[in-house]
């Protein structure tokens, strides 16, 4: 390579190096500018650390969504949370993943504990693990209800701050906007911003109707409605006080009563759910304790009768747990989305052969039975269709029948297994066998099993046949006649038990009876819900009184508007109020009269009569003047009604909650010990007497 070429290459390298140095200095100068520094500071302020719980829960949400067993629970939680967290996808996913994770942290150790304690009893293990699904559902609902209750508590603070803002601005919209800027109470601030946007929209009435369908609770509906009416028609003074602020006080008092009611219900039922499911966990520990201390109970606990008692206790526990969940309903608003929660009924009903079969059981249109069924569904506030109800009933019938047959077969196998594995002695056991005696007893059992296998299934076997086989076997070559006769009698007794353990006709009949009970179970549950809802009638009517008290002094309020508001917040009496509104145009007084004839609850009848009076040209304020004058009385009466409701539910709940525990102690522990102990002692004394 020539010197000129080398010099040229060195020049090129130096030139490139110079360009790099100049570019670096220029870039460094630019990086030191104020804008770049400020952006870098902002990036540092928002940059996540190496570990972030929020990011972790967001990733878990995606994982849970892809996992089919958790997908149903995740979507169920999400549907409720997205109502509270309006348009906040990040928070909705975060809270959903948190609830699922907490439930898993509780349920996974419990599952392993159940498997460990019931590993020797697969049937009981399976039943308990299935039952755990309902416990998970309860845990999830409880966590979501906690968020709903938290929102209700935030509303009380929000309305208190709203009063101060309204005093300063004297404008509804501005007061809502100013109060919504609170960063401490995020959930209620988000709802307030939503209401503010509705009030300032191009068509507030349409937007309000949309909000009424998704509002987390009735009190936010009332607040949004009163705020709209006040902004539309203006505020005025009543007895020197702002009517708007007075209505806010009424809503606040309603919320405070509701919060107290929920707190008392939670306190009353906080331990009953746990007490109801305790027997499920204690079955195997009680069995182990009884067997280790009272070995004469082996025939019960390891046999068919013990298994039957176990299954009955689990069944009673399951029923009581479901009933307590219904009783414990604390009034938190559950968004009814059965269309999304139960897609399989609709899909199943679309299959033509299934549809034709199901229609055979559904009452025909116009029949008394169908009318009564519709009334029951309405009274129970159930949104499911009649077709879905009958699919549930028929599916439950099939499941109960198959499960009953399976359990009967398992019970026979349990008894046969007990015969083949129980130590055989010449006397009734009262104490525990020592190692030597136990080994000898098991050797005798193994010998007996040899002859059981030989004659099993031969129903005409006699003791002489067994004795002949024993004499020809190697086990009794040198045995005397008395020993052979005694053992042959025991083998024959075992053989008769083994040969009798098969599925019998009356067990199939019992499975049919259980299936019929399963067919009736959904209807019985609906009727139980009706009974529970009837306890809340007085509470709902008192809510109507509060609504009327808020509306009666507003301008341009008429009877039809009051009925619309009552329908909006109705639950138990929604059907008659809706029917009255539909017929209102054809005759106001007549439609109210029809509604009065349809209901039987006297306090609501008095409200309807006052509405009829208001229709007859008497001002609404005068028709309901007693509501305001007796406001304090109605508040005290409302508190007393809530106390009675909680007391009645608590009394029923305690009776139901302790039933499985009492059954566990009496039927599974005390009764076997007493009955089998006395029987064994009597038999032993008889043997001793015979020997003497």
Percentage of the chain with pLDDT > 70? 85
- 613 neighbors 628 (Cβ within 8 angstroms): no
Low-confidence winner among 1-10, 201-210, 374-383, 586-595 (lowest mean pLDDT): 1-10
Asked whether residue 82 falls in the same domain as residue 219, the answer is: yes
Cα distances (Å, whole numbers) of residue 261 to 52, 410, 436, 536:
38, 47, 65, 12
Q: What's the total number of domains in the chain?
A: 3
- Per-residue model confidence as pLDDT tens digits over 542-598: 888 888 888 887 777 888 888 888 888 887 788 888 888 888 888 888 888 888 888
Cα 340 to Cα 362: distance, rounded to the nearest angstrom: 23
Q: Which residues contact 578 (CB under 8 A, 6 or more apart)?
A: 567, 570
Single residue among 206, 234, 262 that ends a domain in this structure: 234
Low-confidence winner among 30-44, 217-231, 408-422, 492-506 (lowest mean pLDDT): 30-44
- 170 neighbors 142 (Cβ within 8 angstroms): no
Q: Are strands 241-242 and 237-238 parallel, antiparallel or unpaired?
A: antiparallel
Cα 263 to Cα 269: distance, rounded to the nearest angstrom: 10
Band of residue 45 on the pLDDT scale cut at 50, 70, 90: very low
Residue 546 is assigned to a structural domain of this protein: yes
Residue 689 is assigned to a structural domain of this protein: no
Cα distances (Å, whole numbers) of residue 50 to 45, 56, 487:
14, 11, 76
Asked whether residue 450 falls in the same domain as residue 563, the answer is: no
Residue 492 is assigned to a structural domain of this protein: yes
Cα 276 to Cα 284: distance, rounded to the nearest angstrom: 16
Place of tokens 């949004």: 224
Instruction: Read off the pLDDT of each residue in 17-35 and give the average, rounded to a whole number.
Output: 58
What DSSP character marks residue 238? E
Instruction: Read off the pLDDT of each residue in 339-349 and give the average, rounded to a whole number.
Output: 67
Q: What angle do CA 665, 666, 668 make, to 5 degrees?
A: 70
Q: Which residues contact 639 (CB under 8 A, 6 or more apart)?
A: 257, 260
Residue 31 is assigned to a structural domain of this protein: no
Asked whether residue 492 falls in the same domain as residue 580, the answer is: no
Cα 243 to Cα 554: distance, rounded to the nearest angstrom: 8
Asked whether residue 564 falls in the same domain as residue 445, the answer is: no
Asked whether residue 196 falls in the same domain as residue 113, the answer is: yes
DSSP secondary structure letters along 515-550: HHHHHHHHHHHHHHHHHHHHTTHHHHHHHHHHHHHH
Token pair of 537 as six digits: 């009638």
Cα 538 to Cα 438: distance, rounded to the nearest angstrom: 68
In terms of Cα–Cα distance, which of 231, 228, 227, 223 is closest to 251?
Answer: 223
In terms of Cα–Cα distance, which of 315, 307, 308, 318 is closest to 277?
Answer: 318
In terms of Cα–Cα distance, which of 568, 617, 513 is closest to 225?
Answer: 568
Asked whether residue 493 falls in the same domain as residue 543, the answer is: no
- Per-residue model confidence as pLDDT tens digits over 607-659: 888 888 888 777 777 777 777 666 677 677 777 877 887 888 888 888 888 88
Asked whether residue 460 falls in the same domain as residue 582, the answer is: no
Cα distances (Å, whole numbers) of residue 672 to 124, 302, 457, 634, 661:
19, 12, 31, 55, 16
Cα 30 to Cα 42: distance, rounded to the nearest angstrom: 17
Q: What are phi and psi of 329, to 5 degrees?
A: -50, 110
412: left (phi over 0), alpha (psi -120 to 50) or beta: alpha
Q: What are phi and psi of 305, to 5 degrees?
A: -65, -40
Band of residue 27 on the pLDDT scale cut at 50, 70, 90: low
DSSP secondary structure letters along 447-496: HHHHHHHHHTT-TT--HHHHHHHHHHSSTTTT--HHHHHHHHHHHHHHHH
Residue 242's SS3 state is: strand
Asked whether residue 637 falls in the same domain as residue 582, the answer is: yes
**If 0-12 CB within 10 Å is exposed, 13-18 middle and 19+ buried, where does residue 15 land?**
exposed
Residue 333 is assigned to a structural domain of this protein: no
Where in the sequence is the domain holding 443, given as residue range(s)?
Answer: 422-503
In terms of Cα–Cα distance, which of 682, 531, 638 is closest to 254?
Answer: 638
Q: What is the pLDDT of residue 519?
A: 92
Q: What angle do CA 319, 322, 326 make, to 5 degrees?
A: 135
Q: Which residues contact 465 (CB under 8 A, 6 or more apart)?
A: 455
Band of residue 690 on the pLDDT scale cut at 50, 70, 90: low
Residue 565 is assigned to a structural domain of this protein: yes
Asked whether residue 210 falls in the same domain as residue 141, the answer is: yes
Cα distances (Å, whole numbers) of residue 170 to 159, 191, 225, 245:
15, 21, 18, 10
Q: Which residues contact 13 (CB under 8 A, 6 or more apart)?
A: none
In terms of Cα–Cα distance, which of 478, 512, 628, 565 is closest to 224?
Answer: 565
Residue 620 is assigned to a structural domain of this protein: yes
Low-confidence winner among 322-326, 494-498, 553-557 (lowest mean pLDDT): 553-557
Residue 13's SS3 state is: helix
Q: What is the pLDDT of residue 370?
A: 85
Cα 131 to Cα 655: distance, rounded to the nearest angstrom: 21
- 545 neighbors 641 (Cβ within 8 angstroms): no
Asked whether residue 84 falls in the same domain as residue 173, the answer is: yes
CB atoms within 10 A of CB 559: 19
Q: How much is the mean pLDDT over the chain?
A: 79
Residue 395 is assigned to a structural domain of this protein: no
Token pair of 241 as six digits: 């006080």
* Terminal C-alpha separation, the chain: 128
Q: Which residues contact 529 (CB under 8 A, 6 or more apart)?
A: 326, 380, 381, 382
- 592 neighbors 611 (Cβ within 8 angstroms): yes
In terms of Cα–Cα distance, which of 154, 505, 479, 529 is closest to 325?
Answer: 529
Q: Which residues contact 303 (CB under 8 A, 6 or more apart)?
A: 414, 415, 418
Q: What is the pLDDT of residue 516?
A: 93
Single residue among 455, 487, 503 that ends a domain in this structure: 503
- 271 neighbors 87 (Cβ within 8 angstroms): no
Cα 84 to Cα 87: distance, rounded to the nearest angstrom: 9
Asked whether residue 453 falls in the same domain as residue 594, the answer is: no
- 155 neighbors 255 (Cβ within 8 angstroms): yes
Q: What are phi and psi of 115, to 5 degrees?
A: -60, -40
- Per-residue model confidence as pLDDT tens digits over 278-312: 887 788 788 888 888 777 777 788 778 888 888 88
Low-confidence winner among 221-235, 270-284, 393-407, 657-671 (lowest mean pLDDT): 270-284
Asked whether residue 77 falls in the same domain as residue 214, the answer is: yes
Token pair of 275 as six digits: 């007490």
- Per-residue model confidence as pLDDT tens digits over 415-464: 888 888 887 766 554 555 566 777 787 888 888 888 888 888 888 888 88
């Amino acid at each position: 390579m020539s010197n000129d070429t080398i010099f040229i290459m060195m020049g090129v390298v130096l030139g490139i190096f110079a360009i790099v140095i100049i570019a670096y200095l220029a870039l460094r100068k630019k990086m030191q500018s104020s804008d770049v520094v400020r952006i870098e500071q902002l990036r540092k302020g928002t940059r996540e650390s190496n570990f972030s719980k929020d990011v972790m829960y967001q990733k878990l949400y995606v994982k849970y969504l892809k996992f089919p067993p958790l997908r149903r629970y995740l979507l169920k939680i999400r549907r409720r949370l997205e109502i509270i967290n309006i348009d906040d996808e990040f928070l909705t996913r975060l809270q959903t993943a948190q609830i699922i994770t907490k439930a898993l942290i509780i349920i996974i150790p419990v599952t392993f504990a159940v498997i460990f304690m019931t590993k020797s009893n697969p049937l009981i293990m399976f039943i308990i693990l299935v039952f755990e699904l309902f416990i998970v559902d309860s845990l999830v609902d409880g966590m979501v209800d906690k968020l709903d209750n938290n929102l209700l508590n935030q509303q009380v603070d929000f309305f208190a701050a709203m009063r101060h803002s309204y005093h300063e601005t004297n404008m509804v919209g501005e007061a809502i906007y100013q109060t919504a800027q609170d960063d401490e109470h995020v959930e209620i601030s988000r709802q307030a911003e939503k209401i503010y946007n509705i009030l300032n929209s191009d068509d507030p009435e349409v937007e309000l109707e949309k909000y009424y369908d998704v509002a987390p609770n009735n009190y936010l509906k009332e607040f949004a409605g009163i705020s709209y009416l006040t902004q539309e028609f203006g505020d005025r003074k009543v007895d020197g006080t702002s009517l708007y602020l007075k209505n806010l006080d009424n809503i606040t008092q309603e919320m405070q009563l509701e919060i107290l009611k929920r707190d008392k219900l939670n306190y009353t039922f906080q331990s009953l759910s746990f007490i109801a499911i305790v027997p499920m966990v204690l079955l195997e520990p009680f069995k182990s304790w009884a067997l280790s201390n009272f070995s004469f109970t082996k025939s019960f606990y390891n046999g068919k009768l013990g298994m039957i008692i176990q299954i009955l206790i689990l069944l009673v526990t399951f029923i009581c747990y479901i009933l307590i969940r219904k009783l414990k309903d604390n009034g938190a608003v559950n968004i009814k989305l059965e269309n999304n929660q139960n897609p399989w009924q609709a899909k199943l009903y679309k299959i033509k052969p299934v549809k034709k079969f199901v229609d055979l059981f559904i009452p025909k249109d116009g029949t008394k039975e169908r009318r009564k069924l519709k009334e029951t569904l309405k009274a129970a506030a159930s949104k499911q269709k009649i077709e879905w109800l009958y699919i549930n009933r028929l599916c439950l019938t099939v499941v109960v029948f198959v499960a009953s047959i399976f359990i009967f077969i398992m019970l026979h196998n349990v008894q046969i297994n007990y015969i083949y594995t129980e130590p055989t002695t010449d006397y009734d056991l009262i104490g525990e066998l020592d190692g030597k005696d136990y080994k000898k007893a098991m050797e005798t059992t193994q010998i007996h099993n040899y002859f059981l296998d030989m004659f099993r299934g031969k129903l005409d076997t006699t003791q002489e046949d067994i004795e002949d086989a024993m004499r020809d076997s190697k086990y009794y070559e040198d045995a005397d006649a008395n020993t052979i006769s005694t053992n042959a009698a025991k083998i024959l007794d075992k053989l008769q038990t083994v040969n009798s353990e098969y599925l019998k006709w009356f067990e199939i009949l019992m499975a049919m009876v259980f299936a019929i009970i399963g067919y009736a179970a959904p209807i019985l549950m609906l009727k139980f819900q009706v009974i529970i809802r009837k306890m809340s009638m007085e509470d709902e009517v008192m809510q109507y009184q509060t609504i009327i008290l808020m509306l009666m002094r507003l301008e341009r309020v008429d009877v039809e508007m009051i009925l619309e508001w009552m329908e909006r917040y109705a639950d138990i009496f929604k059907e008659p109020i809706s029917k009255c509104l539909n017929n209102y145009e054809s005759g106001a007084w007549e439609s109210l009269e029809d509604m009065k004839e349809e209901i039987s609850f006297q306090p609501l009848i008095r409200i309807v009569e006052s509405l009829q009076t208001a229709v007859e040209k008497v001002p609404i304020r005068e028709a309901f003047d007693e509501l305001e004058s007796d406001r304090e009385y109605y508040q005290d009466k409302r508190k007393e009604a809530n106390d009675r409701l909680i007391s009645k539910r608590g009394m029923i709940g305690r009776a139901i909650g302790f039933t499985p525990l009492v059954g566990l102690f009496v039927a599974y522990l005390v009764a076997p010990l007493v009955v089998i102990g006395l029987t064994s002692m009597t038999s032993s004394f008889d043997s001793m007497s015979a020997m003497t």
